[in-house]
Amino acid sequence: MEFQLSEAQKLIRETARSFVDKEVIPHVKAWEEKGAIPQTVTEKMADLGFFGIPIPEDYGGAGLDYVSFALVVEEIARGCNSLRTTLSVQTSLAGTTLLAAGTEAQKKTILAPLARGEFLGAWALTEPDAGSDAANLRTTAKREGDEWVLNGAKRFISNGNLAEYVVVFAREPGTARQDGISAFLVKQGTPGFHVTNVETNTKLGLRASPTADLAFDDCRIPADHLIGRQGEGWETAMYVLNHGRLGVAAGAVGIGQACLELSLEHARERRAFDRPIGAFQLIREMIAEMAVEVEAARLLYLKAAWLRDQGEDNRLAVSLAKLFGAQMAVRCADRAVQIYGGYGFSGEYPVERHFRDAKILGIYEGTNEIQKMIIAHELLGELERAEA
């Protein structure tokens, strides 16, 4: 057992930490008010190579391990969960789909610029009637000559309006559930592809991250925009989501860590009854509980990332890390707001934003309930009903 990060892992974490302290934290409030992250910020992240950390060098990435990537994801979330969402969607979802199932040409022409951060990607599985029950997706893709014709709608797609390419899951007409689903690349601006709604700063949280609804109306894409084999999209989506969830778990620790650091600062500075509030046992208890939970959640995501780096099955480890991380972040943000008192409720202090941003972690990429179902399935399998 080795609990020590390598020098390279420490260096990339420090690089991300200093980027976040200088380029993210001082500006997040303004980004939220505008409902957008300036392109210059993602360009700086691209210059630092953050979008391609676990992608092989042949395809525009750095070819580093998943532990390094997850450490960077934690740091970005410590500053801004909207920005962390952009990183996760780009690398863990769109990038991993192409890496896992894309053709060599797709990897060279689309994955490589994605990994270099030259343009943004998005990943569209959810539909108005298919969220947790994603296999109920209704968007169809019909082959006509050298083209696929897409019809349907997608809901809540992060960066769906900004992405140069959207990975879209659609089914062959006449198929049901997991069968007949394939993944496709749809380029922004393709006739028949419409962004029908974008929600930014009217959401509970993630107010600097655009969440788009998309529609496909006889949208024709070239035959070579199919990703992977026809009908194998469901397996690809589940494989990719496991990578995405690892990022959410690391991001949860970033929020927990931010809440802990901000609480320590406030507990030292704020005075009541002639003493710093950090002298009161009830405040100290909240700090101690936060510290335990943040560290436990960090160890869970690091183990999941380490298993991935060893080439081992990490599905159980990922769901444990995502479920505990998402719940931990909500609890830590709640405690941080409590420690800040009225200032915690005010939009002037960042704990208010972390409180709002923590909630999404237990909703997207598989809700807390879905993670519990996966964990129980990994442990128990399917149990048959008794014969009547």
Ligand X SMILES: Cc1cc2nc3c(=O)[nH]c(=O)nc-3n(C[C@H](O)[C@H](O)[C@H](O)COP(=O)(O)OP(=O)(O)OC[C@H]3O[C@@H](n4cnc5c(N)ncnc54)[C@H](O)[C@@H]3O)c2cc1C
Active-site residues: which are they?
Answer: 365
Is residue 92 at the binding interface for ligand X, with CB under 6 A as the rule? Answer: no
Is residue 234 at the binding interface for ligand X, with CB under 6 A as the rule? Answer: no
CA 262 from centre of chain = 23
Closest distance between ligand X and the C-beta of residue 85, in Å? 7
Closest distance between ligand X and the C-beta of residue 233, in Å? 13
Is residue 237 at the binding interface for ligand X, with CB under 6 A as the rule? Answer: no
In sequence order, which residues have a C-beta less than 8 Å from that of residue 362 and are 6 or more positions away?
323, 326, 327, 330, 368
**How many of the chain's residues bind ligand X (CB under 6 A)?**
19
DSSP string, 281-331: HHHHHHHHHHHHHHHHHHHHHHHHHHHHHTT---HHHHHHHHHHHHHHHHH
Span of 6-14, 135-143, 150-158, 345-353 interacting with ligand X by CB under 6 A: 150-158
Span of 76-84, 123-131, 145-153, 298-306 interacting with ligand X by CB under 6 A: 123-131
In sequence order, which residues have a C-beta less than 8 Å from that of residue 233 and are 6 or more positions away?
169, 170, 171, 181, 182, 183, 227
**Sole binder of ligand X in the list 12, 114, 157, 170 (CB under 6 A):** 157
Is residue 211 at the binding interface for ligand X, with CB under 6 A as the rule? Answer: yes
Closest distance between ligand X and the C-beta of residue 276, in Å? 37
C-alpha to C-alpha distance for 90 and 168, rounded to whole angstroms: 14
**Sole binder of ligand X in the list 31, 66, 69, 123 (CB under 6 A):** 123
**Sole binder of ligand X in the list 45, 55, 206, 328 (CB under 6 A):** 206
**Sole binder of ligand X in the list 53, 62, 98, 363 (CB under 6 A):** 363
Nearer to ligand X, 293 or 365 (CB): 365
**Sole binder of ligand X in the list 15, 103, 151, 367 (CB under 6 A):** 367
* Cβ contact 209:85 at 8 Å: yes
Closest distance between ligand X and the C-beta of residue 368, in Å? 7
The residue number with the shortest CB distance to ligand X is 131
> Quick one: which of 84, 149, 92, 83 has its CA closest to 122?
92
Is residue 20 at the binding interface for ligand X, with CB under 6 A as the rule? Answer: no
Helix (H, G, I), strand (E, B) or coil at 152: strand
Q: What is the DSSP letter of 381?
A: -
C-alpha to C-alpha distance for 225 and 217, rounded to whole angstroms: 17
CA angle 158, 162, 164 (to 5 degrees): 110
CA angle 67, 312, 102 (to 5 degrees): 80
Nearer to ligand X, 9 or 158 (CB): 158
C-alpha to C-alpha distance for 190 and 201, rounded to whole angstroms: 27
Span of 154-162, 218-226, 281-289, 333-341 interacting with ligand X by CB under 6 A: 154-162
Residues in contact with ligand X by CB under 6 A are 89, 123-126, 131-132, 156-158, 206, 211, 360, 363-365, 367, 369-370
